[in-house]
Chain A
Amino acid sequence: MTQLDLPSKTFDWQSQKAFSSASGDDNPIHMDPVVCRRTQVGFPVVHGIHGVLWALDCLIAKSQISKPIARIRVRFNNYIYVEDTVGILIKKLDENSLRFALHIGDTLKTTVEVTFGAAQNLEISPLSSAPKHHRKTPFNWNPSEHKEFSGRQGVNDAGAVQQLFPALAEAMGHHRTTGLMALSTIVGMACPGYHSLFNSLDVLIHSTSDNIDGVTYRIKNFSQATGLLDIGIAGCGLSGSIKAFYRSRPVEQPPFTELLTLVEKGEFRLKSSLIVGGSRGLGALTAKILAAGGGRVIISYSTGKTEAQKITREINDHCKENICSVLKLDVQQDMREPLSSLPIPVDHFYYFATPHISRQKGSLFSKKLFDEFYSYYVDGFYNICQILARNTPDKITAFYPSTTYVDNRPNNFCEYAMAKSAGEILCHDISQFAPNIYTIMRRLPPLLTDQTLTMFDLEASSAVQEVYSAVKQLHQTAKG
């Protein structure tokens, strides 16, 4: 068989739901696009184990793997997103082992090494005596509270294993295939659960019947510096270890009450502002700062309705009047209707609409990605300027947040910086040539938001002073 004969698979929503339902791994990073946009993955990702089990099933069905499997090692290099089409690439094959990769174009997604040989003839000792857990929502593991953590995990529907991975279940046994699937459920639902990212696994296959109901697990080590958990596993004819990151939690901007102590009372009184993309991050912070200074604000959201309403409640409950309201606005759609029925007339607007910024890509430049950024940072901004200028009798002042990455950027931010750079030119020309609108552009350094979340946050600084300064600048310019 040549590489060309190896199959590919599109991991669509149907297969995503089927794996989630069978495994019981319903972690929101797989299933909930709204939650995902506030994590470093950005969009729903395919269960890593799903990709591995699919590939093993294909390779067995195609007789690429025909010997008994003694050991499986996997490293999840990059995320596979829902609707991605993934291929299998054989890297090395000899009589003892097979190494292959799941890939999309030139981008390595998962590395798998299968060692052939007789299964272990050793009895497996359970790592926990706890009963099997069926969690409906992911556990929220916390390094300070649960250092010594163990448990026992099954899958939601073991009967579906045969249907999803028939060749693998026949070759390795239903019990062991179910055990491999349960590793996803351990990481996604139990340990570390909610804030998790599966990193790697190294398991031995046992020939003995262990009589362990489900897969038991126990934390062996947690690295504070890297957030990496090393977890021992035993059961379902498997033993070994899995590694998972305890991923960063979404960044919460300071509460309104804290900002009240920073912002001068009445500083933004008599001002009404529209904050586009105000349900989270810098947009949410801007809304709170303006409201803390006595301004009236409308915060727009595209998908984060609940978050927008939460901020509105936080502000209005404290102020005991409705100075904050919400507006559904998608900058990639026709915005004439929502913008012509604003609850209050506005004299300022802030433009924080953005897609997920940090992306994986297989080449230096992606036209598709550039077009997406451009539609937000140029088209969306221009369309709002036009509509507001037409609808408003007085002059409007607009804030456009650009980025220091235009001048100096890390690898992989080419399209983002290019689109922001185009937005800067647009800002300049709107101020110069449009009669009814004045724009202020500011290059912001990386600030601590969901967009700058990584495994560890090194360079992003607190956003409060930077945003407060930008808001003040906008108001002083408008006065002048």
Chain B
Amino acid sequence: MGTNDTNDLDIIINALSTNDGGNSTLSIGRNVTVGAGTITLTGDVNDTPTILFAGTGAQIADSAIVVTTDGFGVLSVTNTGGTVTITDIIGVNGNGLESISIASGANLTQNVGAAAGTFNVVGNVDDGAGGVGGTLVIEGGDSRGGGIAGGAVTAVAIEGTGTNQLTGLTIQGGDAGTTGVGGAVTATAITGAVTATTYNIVGGKGGTGGAAATSGVGGAVATHLQTGNVISAVNITGGAGGAGGASDVSDVGGAGGVGGAVAVSAVGGVSGTVTATSAGGTAGGAGAQAAGATGSAGGAIVITDIDGAIGTGLTLSAADGSWDVSADYDADIKSDFLAHTGRVQAKFNF
């Protein structure tokens, strides 16, 4: 505790101290506040080390989750009484976790704060028993203001070819501040299928305009690759543009920051509605000198390809509800009969 330095507590879960097929689990009821300290998992194929968050309220851990040997080590959350937030690395490419289990009703969030981080799982994410788990959020760091940028999550990978079963999955850029950009989620790759109720890919919010200069840009979800099929509603949302700064007696306020962009390449099909939304920021308030500064644009959305079918439909919406464009497709197969029907609909609301 105290100063963030090399003397902070390191935690080692070594299931291999005797190589005898015995697992070792460290169960934590509340917070882990160890600064630069780490939690290291050491195991093999039948000696599994597990770090378990088993509290009954919100829990925060500021330690990196380090894996000694790629694919051997489990992160588990059974706490259904509050969100478990880890503000540091959760595995890294080449030293990833075996799996992550999140109990149904539990919530695990990675939000890296000001430092960059990574997220790497060799296997899949579910409830630990092959069933539907809770909610996973992977988020770039929010700017803390004062020109301090949020940290990026530079590489996110869930490498297992099995199905990731979750209630919710969110990949989100960090929110910008008036003088600091939000942290990006630089590159995401999910290999297996995803079954969820909601699957959100969200750019970070642009910063609210200050006294003069344009505010920070929201963190982007720069490259999101979803290889396996998705059975879920998918919401792709560009970061909301920041509101413009208010005018005062001497000058116009600064413009709001641009929302974080989202770029999605979904190779697999989607069985569920895909909704893409982007929202610009509102203008700042008028003052004695002039009108308030303009709000900035919402984050751009780029969907490179969805090779498979979109089962339920695709909807593109303006955030203010002024228009919607939707498309649907159906196939009807009977004996000696095959019909393809499609519909494209545009609505302008006034």
Partners in one complex: no
Residues of A that sit less than 8 Å from B by CB = none
